[in-house]
Structure 1
Amino acid sequence: MTTEAAEIQSILGLDVSRDTVTLCDGRRHTVTVANEADALRAALQPYQGTTTLAVCEATGGYEDILLGVLLELAIPAHRADPAKIKAYIASFGKRAKNDPIDARWLSRYGCDRATTLPRWQPADPTQQKLELLVARRLDLVAMRVQEQNRLKAPRSRLIADNIRDHLAELERHIEALNAEIDTLIGESRDLALRAQQLRSVPGVGPVLAPLLLAVIPELGTLNRRQVASLAGVAPHPKDSGKANWHRSTTGGRRQIRPALFIAALAACRGDNPLAVAYKALLKAAKPKRVALTAIMRKIITIANARVRDALRQQNEIMPINA
């Protein structure tokens, strides 16, 4: 964090689009510049060295140039979750929307929450590449499932050869991505250590381990409740007055839960403590769906604990070797 939260005196709201960035420094006046490094550098230069916090939304990558310029000028920034910004605006009952209005709302959001907003830090290049490779693999696997379903359709006989050719091509690309992901993890001491600990958990295989590393890079730094919530397997209460409803597992990062379900199925069919726990839950008359969800939660909490312990041990050993 470049500037402490208590020292922040002004907030700069920045609404990012593909071609432009609209700036608002807390007053109603706004200015729009091109989403290019030179234009942004000129517009943000006056804020260099001041106690200013820049707030923008995550836009799928269009904010990268802006964040790079802010880092270059040593202006602290917060990249906000668009869902939180949308909920914040809705709480005021407002509906009007355009770039200047959004920039003003971002500035106001920053003013209200400056003391609690985490500062953006550039991603590690290796971690960033892993995330992109894993995301691409998920896309290709989804395409493969779609093509497999099309091949089974009764009217697909006339184009079956074309679908098979596409499936073979997808398989080649998926295998190539798997090899690239394995190489990337093997070349990084930190990722290799984390992957080794993850693979030691029953049910966690060569697909889930890279997925966890990419989607939940915070593994090892969270407590068991936080990691269960991120994975979408935390039972959230839904009570009101005298009404006590069944707790449901919702939210979390959407890519994790389906993969954890497959991992839980594999773990429950093996010879390990998780399989014993699953059978005990069934013996206690728990529905299979509830028992599997409990095993999913155990997998992610065990994985988090093992990564945490391995990182602590590594940090204790490194000074001795130095």
Structure 2
Amino acid sequence: MRTESAEIQSILGLDVSRDTVTLCDGRRHTVTVANEADALRAALLPYQGTATLAVCEATGGHEDTLLGVLLELAIPAHRADPAKVKAYIKSFGKRAKNDPIDARWLSRYGRDRAATLPRWQPVDPTQQKLELLVARRLDLVAMRVQEQNRLKAPRSRLIADNIRDHLAELERHIEALNAEIDTLIGESRDLALRAEQLRSVPGVGPVLAPLLLAVIPELGTLNRRQVASLAGVAPHPKDSGKANWHRSTTGGRRQIRPALFIAALTACRGDNPLATAYKALLKAAKPKRVALTAIMRKIITIANARVRDALPHQNEIMPINA
């Protein structure tokens, strides 16, 4: 549900913590209630049916109860990026911070930007579970790298057996997560179709495909520039007057670039059009780093296009299971 900005009459700022939520409806007065469904429902009930937009920050899950109540009461909401809100407050030169002050700033942020703020929509449970499983796998892989590095350290010989036991345990957990991720994707017609299209792209394997499905669920709905930017492989200009600086690829969702880099290395070693393009770039005297970045961008744009082209024919490709 989306309320057009012309219809919005008030902005409700909600500062969320683990135990409490502080509300501000644009005036100086604020109220703090428990971060529990019944308390939130009672506090938000007066705004039901009014032209109100609720604005809160992403807090790692502490906002889930609030968003659920807002959805129940049909109050449109925006879950703001904390970094953007922080930059907005900083632009006014303000430093004071507590829950009521933050709630007021969220209300003001929503008032100034209501026309461009996307409305929050509940995540599909299967997609949410996939995101959690993939995130957990990334955490365990990072732990494995840390333990492998510790094992190589000269002073780790006395505790080497303990580190090896932990590495073996991590491997078991990672394999279990891989199996659970594969099962989850296989049981979802939509995810299975997307994964099939992603795996058809050179360099995209059983690790990168679920990662793309989890981290960039928008695949197939974006244009090539948008998806390259989300993946952090879009070259951004850095020009001023007569100065033309080297364009660099920055930003994007941080989990994607390392995996895309490995995918590009794999693709460039194979016999496919991407390997041909990579060799042509090297022949044109492009540095290897620049050529690999170009292949990374090609991989994500091809993946986006294949998912996009397959989605309209989903029912023809994958019949509904009985």
Fold similarity call, TM over 0.5: yes
Of 3-12 and 216-225, deviating more is 3-12
**Normalised TM-score (structure 1):** 0.98
Deviation at 1:215, TM superposition (A): 0.2
Deviation at 1:315, TM superposition (A): 6.5
Deviation at 1:312, TM superposition (A): 2.0
Cα distance in 2 between the residues matched to 1:96 and 1:177? 43
Aligned partners of 1:16 and 1:62 also within 8 Å? yes
Residue aligned with 2:116, SS: coil
Aligned partners of 1:234 and 1:297 also within 8 Å? yes
Aligned partners of 2:193 and 2:314 also within 8 Å? no
Deviation at 1:283, TM superposition (A): 0.1
Cα distance in 1 between the residues matched to 2:321 and 2:301? 30
Aligned partners of 2:11 and 2:55 also within 8 Å? yes
Of 106-115 and 208-217, deviating more is 106-115
**Normalised TM-score (structure 2):** 0.98
Aligned partners of 2:233 and 2:257 also within 8 Å? yes
Aligned partners of 2:193 and 2:318 also within 8 Å? no
Deviation at 1:318, TM superposition (A): 9.5
Superposed CA offset, 1:25-72 (max 9, x none)? 010100011111111011001001111000000000000000001011
Aligned partners of 2:10 and 2:26 also within 8 Å? yes
Residue aligned with 2:154, SS: coil
Aligned partners of 1:54 and 1:75 also within 8 Å? yes
Residue aligned with 1:62, SS: coil
Residue aligned with 1:21, SS: strand
Q: Which residue of 1 aligns with 2:2?
A: 2
Distance change in 2, residues 1:266/1:116 (3 Å): same
Aligned partners of 1:70 and 1:77 also within 8 Å? yes
Cα distance in 1 between the residues matched to 2:64 and 2:45? 18
Residue aligned with 1:18, SS: coil
Deviation at 1:313, TM superposition (A): 2.3
Distance change in 2, residues 1:172/1:320 (3 Å): closer
Superposed CA offset, 1:139-175 (max 9, x none)? 0000000001111111111111100000000000000
Superposed CA offset, 1:126-145 (max 9, x none)? 00000000000000000000
Cα distance in 2 between the residues matched to 1:144 and 1:321? 39
Aligned partners of 1:49 and 1:74 also within 8 Å? yes
Of 73-82 and 308-317, deviating more is 308-317
Q: Which residue of 2 aligns with 1:166?
A: 166
Aligned partners of 1:2 and 1:74 also within 8 Å? no
Deviation at 1:4, TM superposition (A): 2.7
Distance change in 2, residues 1:232/1:67 (3 Å): same
Aligned partners of 2:282 and 2:288 also within 8 Å? yes
Distance change in 2, residues 1:243/1:209 (3 Å): same
For the pair 1:292 / 2:292, whether they are aligned, the reply is: yes
Cα distance in 2 between the residues matched to 1:267 and 1:316? 30
For the pair 1:81 / 2:98, whether they are aligned, the reply is: no
Distance change in 2, residues 1:280/1:2 (3 Å): closer
Superposed CA offset, 1:196-250 (max 9, x none)? 0000000000000000000000000000000000000000000000000010000
Cα distance in 1 between the residues matched to 2:205 and 2:89? 42
Residue aligned with 1:201, SS: coil
Aligned partners of 2:189 and 2:318 also within 8 Å? no
- Stretches of structure 2 that go unaligned for 5 or more consecutive residues are none
Aligned partners of 1:24 and 1:31 also within 8 Å? yes
Deviation at 1:116, TM superposition (A): 1.2
User: What fraction of aligned residue pairs are identical, expressed as a percent?
Assistant: 95
Deviation at 1:3, TM superposition (A): 2.5
Cα distance in 2 between the residues matched to 1:210 and 1:289? 26
CA-based RMSD: 1.7
Aligned partners of 1:22 and 1:100 also within 8 Å? yes
For these two proteins, the number of residue pairs brought into alignment is: 322
Aligned partners of 1:2 and 1:75 also within 8 Å? no
Deviation at 1:5, TM superposition (A): 2.6
Cα distance in 2 between the residues matched to 1:106 and 1:151? 47
Distance change in 2, residues 1:11/1:316 (3 Å): farther
Cα distance in 1 between the residues matched to 2:133 and 2:321? 33
Cα distance in 2 between the residues matched to 1:255 and 1:317? 30
Deviation at 1:6, TM superposition (A): 1.9
- Stretches of structure 1 that go unaligned for 5 or more consecutive residues are none
Cα distance in 1 between the residues matched to 2:145 and 2:12? 45
